[in-house]
Amino acid sequence: MKNKWQMEYKNIRQGPTEMVDAYAARFRKAISKAEMGNLLPAQMQVMDFVAGLRPELAIITNGSNPADLDEAEETAKNVESASLINKNVIAAATNPATAEVKELKAQILELKAEIKEAKYVPRVDRKPPQNNGGNRKPIYRGPNRKPVDK
């Protein structure tokens, strides 16, 4: 069973959408289950942790030369946060449709407010309908006869 956990520890990798927190928790759990925490020097744990990070996080985290696992985890979290912020800023700046959608949503909200404020006002210049016997057509009396009004 110990060998199984040691293999899991050696093969542990951060998932493509996994956050550093979740990966670090899995990594620490794998070390404890493999009972290798006291056997591995701190620098080996750091190297294995960084090796399992996604490449864009691993490069910068390794470049900061962390002394222990806690420092490596903290650096990776900071790099991840910065990259998420940058992605959001770049996406907003490079996507003109986003700004257009926001503008259209604002216009829709304004129109909704105007509709709520608008009240029905009858037109004064409109003539009232005339009563033509219930608006019925006169009775047809044949081709040569005139209609008879009752």
pLDDT tens series, the chain, 150 aa: 667 878 888 889 999 999 999 999 999 988 888 776 677 788 888 999 999 999 999 999 989 999 999 999 999 999 998 888 877 766 666 666 777 788 889 999 888 888 877 765 566 666 666 655 556 666 666 676 665 565
Phi/psi at 88 (nearest 5 deg)? -65, -40
H/E stretch holding 29 reads helix 20-33
**Domain ranges for the chain:** 2-93
What's residue 21's pLDDT? 93
What is the spatial distance between Cα 20 and Cα 74, in angstroms, rounded to a whole number?
Answer: 9
Q: Helix (H, G, I), strand (E, B), or coil: what is residue 146?
A: coil
- What is 2-93's CATH number? 1.10.1200.30
pLDDT at 55: 92
- Burial code (b: 16+ CB inside 10 Å, e: under 16) for 95-119 equals eeeeeeeeeeeeeeeeeeeeeeeee
The pTM for the full model equals 0.56
- What confidence score (pLDDT) does residue 20 get? 93
In three-state secondary structure terms, 28 is helix
